[in-house]
Chains A and B, each alone.
Chain A
């Protein structure tokens, strides 16, 4: 910021002028000289950073993105009040999770297509348009979270439900019966609660205090619908 506010009278010096240099002439009662230098020496570093990501190997790029996604998965699985998901948002994780969930919800049999479970496109539409609707809702209610940050959080918090889907598919390989159903029900309920806790840990602070419930209820509905899709899955 100091560099941008260079006065035009100055010659174009390589190092920026100290910010409060002119004030040292003014005598204040306590006679404290205020001078110093505020420099942000990152300019050269940013340039080399830019060119290096262009020249690095594909493996480096992929590994870096995968590590970022994995770090966020860890944050979702152990929800603490942290800003990582919000600060460096990315939509790779939600895409991977949504595609995985939609693929796993596919039934093998082609019969009774009309009466069957959700199609791939239906899952996709529900997840993405649901997330967009909830984001718009929270922004319209006056929340101060950005659009993509909110999408990122909602998408990442589908992770527990995807894990529940995996477990349900494994459990369904066993003998069907009421025990089977109770196990699946228990797993889905636990993961549903986990998703809600994880997403409200990230989203609740961005809302004005007297509208928190209004903003959280659609999130609850969203994960409830996804849990319902998982629970009613029959191969």
Chain B
């Protein structure tokens, strides 16, 4: 049945190769191809015939492979371009997450874990998870507070999902953009190491946000000093990862620029964590002096500007 085999599959390959060689040719009909196939099929049954047919196959295979290697990079409007950013396996993503959780001074996240193949899967879904976890646990603290103090009015506060999502995604995409732009602008000063690509910067930031997810879940414990402790710990881990990754790049720059850049990065990260804590987890006083039914949450003696809760209550 070898004749049937080659007619059903290999004939298609030959057709494409014939077309590639003679682009002006119209699609060939079956009878034209039947003749060369018939010619080869006559020799079927003898070893030499099979050999000839294999050679024909191999040549066409090689030709196809060579054509593939010479194909240009897919343009940014094609689907294949974006598929190259999602070319990761489960084990690779887990390894990158572990690398961001345990930053080590010598290890550069980009070189060691990303291995110059950044992906967008991690940053995108870590940001989505963080946004939803923030909204959900913020709501859960309200539930727990209501159980302690029934006068607090519980509401699902669904708009916090929108706020969380916008904040996290803007942070995870605009700050790397600014950082990448700044590093690229300063790249003339550096000799040894070029700047990271935009995607690598986004990956660094995305994976560094992962440690905030368990931090946010642990913030459910309604003990204020413990919350601040967890926050400080997670912030330290996250910014350590960022600093260790950025250090080789800014090291060659002037002291001033390097210090300013690193401290800005750390400050922005800290602001994000602080903002999340204060907006989503407004801690409630343990004893409520008088019932106030319309305000859903009251801040404790946190260094908040007094305009913030009032604007929330009246908006």
CA–CA, A14 and B4, complex, Å: 26
* Known contacts A34-B3, A137-B86, A218-B125; is-contact A26 B156 (Cβ 8 Å): no
Stretch at the interface among B89-97, B174-182, B190-198, B269-277: B89-97
Q: Are B129 and A141 in contact (CB under 8 A)?
A: no
Closest chain-B Cβ to A106's Cβ sits at a distance in Å of 12
Stretch in contact with the other chain, from A75-83, A189-197, A206-214:
A206-214
Tell me whether A228 and B136 are in contact (CB under 8 A): yes
**A7 CB–B CB distance under 8 Å:** yes
A218 to B136 Cα, complex, angstroms: 16
| Given A116-B158, A118-B156, A142-B83: A22 and B34 interface contact (C-beta under 8 Å) | yes
A118 to B162, CA, bound (A): 10
- A141 to B93 CA separation, bound complex (whole angstroms): 12
A225, B156: Cβ atoms under 8 Å?
Answer: no
A23 and B3 form a contact (CB under 8 A): yes
User: Among B4, B128, B315, which residue has its beta carbon within 8 angstroms of that of A34?
Assistant: B4
Closest A residue to B154 by CB, please name it: A234
Task: Kindly state whether residue B42 has any CB partner on chain A within 8 Å.
Answer: yes
The closest CB in chain B to the CB of A224 belongs to: B132
Residue of B nearest to A232 (CB): B156
**CB of B139 within 8 Å of the partner chain:** yes
Interface residues of B in 43-102 (CB under 8 A from A): 44-45, 79, 82-83, 85-91, 93
B contact residues around A28 at 8 Å (CB): 3, 44-45
The docked-state distance in angstroms from the alpha carbon of A225 to that of B139 is 13
Interface residues of B in 1-50 (CB under 8 A from A): 3-4, 7, 29-31, 34, 38, 41-42, 44-45
A112 within 8 A of B: yes
The docked-state distance in angstroms from the alpha carbon of A213 to that of B88 is 11
Q: Which of A144-174 contact B (CB under 8 A)?
A: none
Report the bound CA distance from A224 to B135 in whole Å: 13
**Which chain B residue has the least Cβ–Cβ distance from A1?**
B8
B residues with a Cβ closer than 8 A to A are 3-4, 7, 29-31, 34, 38, 41-42, 44-45, 79, 82-83, 85-91, 93, 121, 125, 128-129, 132, 136, 139, 153-159, 161-162, 296, 315
Contact B156–A214 (Cβ < 8 Å): no
B86: which A residues are within 8 A, CB to CB? 137, 140-142
Measured between beta carbons, the chain B residues less than 8 angstroms from A234 are: 154-156
A interface size (C-beta, 8 A) = 40
Q: Closest approach, in angstroms, between the C-beta of B33 and any C-beta of chain A? A: 10
With a cutoff of 8 Å between Cβ atoms, the chain B residues found around residue A139 in the complex are: 79
Residues in chain B near residue A214, CB distance under 8 A: 88-90, 93, 121
Contact A26 B41 (CB under 8 A): yes
Kindly provide the distance from the CB of B297 to the nearest chain A CB, expressed in whole angstroms.
10
Complex alpha-carbon distance, A116 and B3, angstroms? 71
- Say whether A112 contacts B155, CB under 8 Å: yes
In angstroms, how far is the closest chain A Cβ from the Cβ of B162? 8
Closest CB in chain B relative to A222 CB, distance in Å:
10
A45 within 8 A of B: no
- Which of B42, B90, B132, B158 is the one whose CB lies under 8 Å from A118? B158
Question: Which of A7, A214, A217, A221 has the largest count of B CB atoms less than 10 A from its CB?
Answer: A214
Q: Point out the residues of chain A lying under 8 angstroms from B7, CB to CB.
A: 20
A-B pairs, top 5 by smallest CB distance, nearest first, are: A7-B31, A140-B86, A232-B156, A115-B155, A5-B30
Most buried by A among B79, B83, B90, B153: B90
CA gap between A26 and B128 in the complex, in Å: 65
Instruction: Check B90–A117 contact: CB distance below 8 A.
Output: no
A225 CA / B129 CA spacing, docked (Å)? 10
Judged by a CB distance under 8 angstroms, whether A57 is at the interface is: no
A114 touches B159 (CB 8 A): yes
Which chain A positions have C-beta within 8 A of B139?
232
Residue A29 interfacial (CB < 8 Å): yes
Closest to B4 in A: A34
Cα distance A38–B38 in the bound complex, in angstroms:
20
Q: Chain B's nearest CB lies how many Å from the CB of A132?
A: 13
Decide if B29 touches A141 in the complex (CB within 8 Å): no
B83 touches A122 (CB 8 A): no
- CB-defined interface of A1-15 with B at 8 Å, one 1/0 digit per residue? 000011111000000
Q: A233 contacts which chain B residues (CB < 8 A)?
A: 156
Name the one of B45, B83, B90, B121 contacting A29, with C-beta atoms under 8 angstroms: B45
**Contact residues in B for A68 (Cβ distance below 8 Å):** none
A99-126 CB mask vs B (1 if < 8 Å, else 0) is 0000000000000101111110010000
Q: Nearest chain B CB to A8's CB is how many angstroms away?
A: 6
Question: Nearest residue in B to A32 (C-beta to C-beta)?
Answer: B1
* Residues of chain A contacted by B158 (CB below 8 angstroms): 116-119, 122, 229
CA A224 to CA B87, docked complex, whole Å: 26
* A217, B90: Cα distance in complex, Å: 11
A115 and B296 form a contact (CB under 8 A): yes
Residues B89 and A210 in contact, CB atoms below 8 Å apart: yes
Cα(A221)–Cα(B132), bound, Å? 9
